[in-house]
Chains A and B, each alone.
Chain A
């Protein structure tokens, strides 16, 4: 199952996109309470948003974005257009999801 959930509300020529991404967003500053060792950093760095294959937003995130990142943006488009969100983390992991408005 994708880590990305999206809700899209068309309003005129704008799509209101609400996305919730399941991700720990580990900053690298936290210690494992059981072992006392630092938990390695693992956070989303790039977050790309496309509408019908065209990039409309190129996002850069840091470890200061909360766990399970929430993002609400407004992109050009109308009902039926396909919105794609993809992310890549500092560890090289990635995921993507596409949803029609």
Chain B
């Protein structure tokens, strides 16, 4: 209960611009150069909560305009190369999710001129879909690619 309450408090703080400024001042003593790290989205344990936490909605539709490249089989879940690209016009955010990871949101990028293209290496706990999500014109689009994981990359 206690932890849910914390998430709720943080979520509602972030909801207002004033709250964000106050939160940044109180929670982070160092200089804030960028937007606050979206903690509630990253700590969310379900895909829907993570989507809501970052994008403000979990209403996401499958799209052929999103491309997710990843290997069919990853022997080592600690290093899985993933490329997400969006061909949806006006894409302003791109994010990578793995729904069965302890916390599904892997990484999220706000674009301010950069192309909607991100290639990186991620950790996967078990065989699952890597989901690429793009935000464009207030809507969410996604595509997935299954990766069979031989040895999980989250623990030991």
Of B34, B78, B101, most buried by chain A (CB within 10 Å of CB) is B34
Q: Which residues of A contact B156 (CB under 8 A)?
A: 30-31
If A65-B120, A69-B120, A73-B115 are given as contacts, then 17 extra A-B residue pairs at C-beta distance below 8 Å, sorted by A number, are A27-B154, A49-B114, A56-B111, A56-B112, A57-B111, A57-B113, A57-B114, A60-B107, A60-B110, A62-B105, A63-B123, A64-B101, A64-B123, A72-B118, A72-B119, A75-B115, A76-B114
Q: How far is the CB of A44 from chain B (nearest CB, A)?
A: 10
Whether A29 sits at the interface, judged by CB under 8 Å, is yes
Chain A interface residues toward B at CB < 8 A: 14, 27, 29-31, 45-46, 48-49, 51, 54-67, 69-76, 86, 88, 92
Is A74 a contact of B114 with CB atoms below 8 Å? yes
Closest to A62 in B: B42
Q: In the complex, A61 Cα to B13 Cα: how many Å?
A: 21
Alpha-carbon separation in the docked complex, A71 to B121 (Å): 8
A57:B37 contact, CB within 8 angstroms: no
Chain B minimum-CB-distance residue to A70: B121
Contact B33 A73 (CB under 8 A): no
Q: Are B122 and A64 in contact, with the CB atoms below 8 A?
A: yes
The minimal Cβ–Cβ distance linking B104 to chain A, given in whole angstroms, is 9
* Contacting residues, chain A, for B34 (C-beta < 8 A): 46, 48, 55, 58, 88
Least Cβ distance of B22 to chain A in Å? 19
Kindly identify, within residues 141 to 156 of chain B, every residue whose CB is under 8 Å from any CB belonging to chain A.
153-156
Provide a sorted-by-A list of 13 A–B residue pairs whose CB atoms are within 8 angstroms: A29-B154, A31-B156, A51-B113, A56-B113, A57-B109, A57-B114, A60-B38, A66-B79, A66-B80, A66-B122, A66-B153, A74-B114, A86-B33
Neighbouring A residues of B98 by C-beta, 8 Å: 64
CB distance from B51 to the nearest CB of A (A): 14
Contact yes or no, A61 B30, CB < 8 A? no
A1 nearest CB across to chain B (Å): 22
